[in-house]
Structure 1
Amino acid sequence: MKPALTLAALFATTASLAIAAPAQAKAGDPVKVSDNLTIDPIIEGVLRYEHVDQDDLNLDADALTIRVRAGAEVTTNGLSLLAEAEGTLAIIDNYNDTIPGNNGFLGAEPYSVVADPQNVELNRLQLSYKASGSAVTIGRQRIVHDAARFVGNVGWRQNEQTFDAIRGETKVGPVALDLAYSISQRTIFGIDSPNEFFDGNFILANGGFDIKPVKVKAFAYLLDYDTRLAFSSQTYGFLAKGALPLAEGFNLDFLASYANQQDYKLNPVSYSADYINAELGVSVMGFGLKGGYEELGSDDGVAAFQTPLATLHAFNGWADLFLTTPAAGLRDYYGGLSKKFGNAGPLKGLNAQVIYHKFESDFGSVDYGQEWDASLGFAVKGYPILLKYANYDAKNFGTDTEKFWLQVAFKY
């Protein structure tokens, strides 16, 4: 199907969903079965069109996918059992879904990558107990630390990343601790992929304190992969962030983070690399302006700082050219402008943002190019709608890439 026809079909689908909605679609409250027993149904999904145009490929990618998650959480006296299935259907399948030999092609499909393969899987199955500000969870679960820079659920992609793990969390006053041990990273690539999961021994520790207006965290991530040995690493670092009110309706936002990463266990390469992130922003009258610098360092071009458990789409450009850090490392100089417009007729919560990135290597002075990203979001009758665009201009790395997304989400 041609992109224009695809867009028209998706706009029609989006509009029909919004117009047909009899009332605002919200996540319902848990159903009370008795004084000590509740059932919380889970029904949510995303319908998304994604178009990818890359200069080095003859065939642009067009993907129209819908993802649905369904399940329930049963809770009694602080004890909860949650079960959730996840399914993704490719309505238009003109894209490389990262599964070798899929759709009759030998090897990779001759399109740009859209990492949303058709898939049906058990997304979460967990048993939890919560009491007095503490919680213990065992089973297949979602784990997100802070902004998901080091550990996340890859929430942008249709298939979610989860972990087979045991996790303990506690909070005492301003102090919070989060410790997890995982034996399997359940990836976004689906049950038909050889990369459906990566097993190993993963220790994920995160803790700190909140003393307004500053939050300070320390973290340690020890990743011992069974097969993905080049990503076995030990990372130790800290994060500080907060917001300072300078005047009524005028805030100064700040973030500073540092970490060091070294090889761990059976990693065949010996290396040491640093991570640095510094960001300042101001917000006033619905406008937000920010600027920052992020460095994923390199050890003299031998190996670079990697974040294999992160929600990578949220960082270093939406075109996703740096999901794996190049061996020469990455420096990202970025700035962004955002605006919250509020409600505009039937469009609720209208917001927009533009972000610019300038990329270069940490070692060897390589110009990686630049990227512009933009998004527009709003809700119609409770259905969140998002338009996104990314334009990566390559220099001495990668290839010129344009991406466009249009999606509508629903949750009951």
Structure 2
Amino acid sequence: MHSLRPVLAAFPLLLAPWFSPPAHATDPPAPVPGVSPEWNARLRYEHVDDDAFGPDANATTLRLRLGLRFRFGAGWSALVEGEGIASAGDDYNSGANGRIAYPVIADPEGAQLNQAWLGWKSAKLHVTLGRQRLQLDNQRWIGNSGWRQNEQTFDSLAFDATLGPGLARYAWLGQVNRVNGDQAIDPLARKRELDTHLFELAWKHGIQQIVGYGYLHDDKDVATASTASYGVRAVTDAVRDGRGWGLALELAEQHEYASNPLSFSHRYWLLEPSLTHAGVTWRAGWEHLGGNGQHSLQTPLATLHVFNGWADKFNSTPTGGLEDRYLSAGGKFGDGKYDWVLAWHDYEADTGGGYGSEWNASFGFPVYGPVKGLLKLADYRADGFAQDTTKAWVQMEWVH
């Protein structure tokens, strides 16, 4: 595969005549060539009280991200972006500071290249090559883990092609750059060499959207992490003028792939109806990640913090699998300036007994101008898995 990189890099040039429609008077004007800066800053305090550890963890971190976006004309663009993370104090295990007596808060200090990609876009095709952020669908399988100060990015080649009412997507991943950063003590926590192929075909009509996918994940560093996952996701969104209903359904199957010496087959499913009324969206969900007691379904490239509770007890699915049944409510008020979420999770094994339960709550509010504040809480009560854990966050973020 590596020998094909020069050919793959030339694909935008080869495909341009096929996907560039003739200019019409109604076409939007082409972007003016130039360069523009981009930046954001995020200041966060995180507290973790985990009964599996003696001391509590406390981390105050500042993340600054700076980038330059280039527009060259004729559909070409590029982004170069770096980030730096500083910490006030060392009373937490960052994964890089060796403070293993404390609970983990995976926001290590350091500076690194976050994104560096070259892209080409026409009315029907978008191609990007380089280190980039990838977020597919609801990020259950592929995401950037944007909650952590250092996000997850991919060294990849990605294609999005519009086909009438549908969208075809393909991406090849050569490396994942993980949230633990380049200075993590465990080299496998820094990055992983991959030969992963992602395929999606999406169709949308009115309030209905259906996505079929196949994710062929080949982890060159850990053979037992290589999996093939095939599934379909259907979403109905009938919310109009702040009221209506929605429904998300997903079904997938995962088995061994590439040089994985194991043999397994696990099911995934999601059922999530929702109702929006009077500014509040109510959700009920049932998410299933299969497990047989020796092995379980895994989604290592996902945005994991969003799923199965903010206490992050299930970032790696236990060998017995996971049944997550949850209820949540959330909404916005004050012309959208304020937002809130309250959620409850009940966790059980697919094979075996119970795990525990968890409450989550968050409140977002304006601070000043482009600065937004966030208060957030997670409280996990163990019942046969891990230990009681409470996490709390206070955050301010400035996006320019």
**TM-score, with length taken from structure 1:** 0.86
- CA deviation after TM superposition for structure 1 residue 86, in Å: 1.1
C-alpha distance 265-38 of structure 1, shift in aligned 2 (>3 A) = same
Equivalence for 2:126: 135
Q: List per-residue Cα deviations over 1:140-163 (Å, max 9, x = no partner).
A: 111110111100001000001111
User: Within the alignment, does 1:218 sit opposite 2:212 as a pair?
Assistant: yes
Distance 1:161 1:35 in 2: 29
In the TM superposition, 1:179-190 aligns within 5 A as 179-190=170-181
Q: List per-residue Cα deviations over 1:145-189 (Å, max 9, x = no partner).
A: 011110000100000111111111111331011100011011111
Q: 1:404 aligns with which of 380, 384, 392?
A: 392
Q: List per-residue Cα deviations over 1:189-246 (Å, max 9, x = no partner).
A: 111121211002011112211111111001111111111222110000010012225x
C-alpha distance 206-35 of structure 1, shift in aligned 2 (>3 A) = closer
Equivalence for 2:25: none
In the TM superposition, 1:291-302 aligns within 5 A as 291-298=284-291, 300-302=292-294
Distance 1:190 1:250 in 2: 42
Consecutive unaligned residues in structure 2, runs of 5 or more? 1-29
State the AA in 2 paired with 1:181: W
Q: 2:279 aligns with which of 276, 279, 286?
A: 286
Distance 2:199 2:86 in 1: 35
User: Within the alignment, does 1:332 sit opposite 2:324 as a pair?
Assistant: yes
Q: List per-residue Cα deviations over 1:7-58 (Å, max 9, x = no partner).
A: xxxxxxxxxxxxxxxxxxxxxxxxxxx9841212111121000000011211
Distance 2:331 2:219 in 1: 42
Distance 1:164 1:192 in 2: 18
In the TM superposition, 1:169-180 aligns within 5 A as 169-180=160-171
Q: 2:304 aligns with which of 312, 319, 335?
A: 312
State the AA in 1 paired with 2:40: E
Q: Secondary structure at the match of 1:40?
A: strand
Distance 1:63 1:75 in 2: 38
User: Within the alignment, does 1:47 sit opposite 2:40 as a pair?
Assistant: no
Distance 1:191 1:331 in 2: 34
- Whether the 8 Å contact between 1:48 and 1:408 is mirrored in structure 2 is yes
- Whether the 8 Å contact between 1:204 and 1:220 is mirrored in structure 2 is yes
Distance 1:89 1:205 in 2: 37
State the AA in 2 paired with 1:85: G
Equivalence for 1:374: 361
Distance 1:180 1:201 in 2: 11
How large is the Cα RMSD of the aligned pairs? 1.5
Equivalence for 1:118: 109
User: Within the alignment, does 1:149 sit opposite 2:140 as a pair?
Assistant: yes
Task: Identify the range of structure 1 (150-159 vs 248-257) with the bigger mean alpha-carbon deviation.
Answer: 248-257
Task: Identify the range of structure 1 (128-137 vs 60-69) with the bigger mean alpha-carbon deviation.
Answer: 128-137
Q: 1:197 aligns with which of 180, 191, 195?
A: 191
Distance 2:49 2:200 in 1: 39
Distance 1:63 1:409 in 2: 16
Equivalence for 1:356: 344
Task: Identify the range of structure 1 (35-44 vs 114-123) with the bigger mean alpha-carbon deviation.
Answer: 35-44
Equivalence for 1:256: 249
State the AA in 1 paired with 2:269: I
- CA deviation after TM superposition for structure 1 residue 81, in Å: 1.7
Q: Secondary structure at the match of 1:177?
A: strand
Q: 1:98 aligns with which of 91, 95, 98?
A: 95
Distance 2:47 2:280 in 1: 29
Distance 1:385 1:124 in 2: 26
Q: 1:238 aligns with which of 232, 242, 250?
A: 232
Distance 1:287 1:404 in 2: 24
Q: Secondary structure at the match of 2:90?
A: strand
Consecutive unaligned residues in structure 1, runs of 5 or more? 1-33
Q: Secondary structure at the match of 1:93?
A: coil
- Whether the 8 Å contact between 1:269 and 1:303 is mirrored in structure 2 is no
- CA deviation after TM superposition for structure 1 residue 340, in Å: 1.5
Q: 1:80 aligns with which of 68, 74, 77?
A: 77
Q: Which runs of at least 4 in structure 1 moved beyond 3 Å after TM superposition?
A: none
State the AA in 2 paired with 1:74: F
User: Within the alignment, does 1:393 sit opposite 2:381 as a pair?
Assistant: yes
Aligned residues: 366
Identical pairs, percent: 36
State the AA in 2 paired with 1:297: G
State the AA in 2 paired with 1:391: D
- Whether the 8 Å contact between 1:145 and 1:206 is mirrored in structure 2 is no
**TM-score, with length taken from structure 2:** 0.89
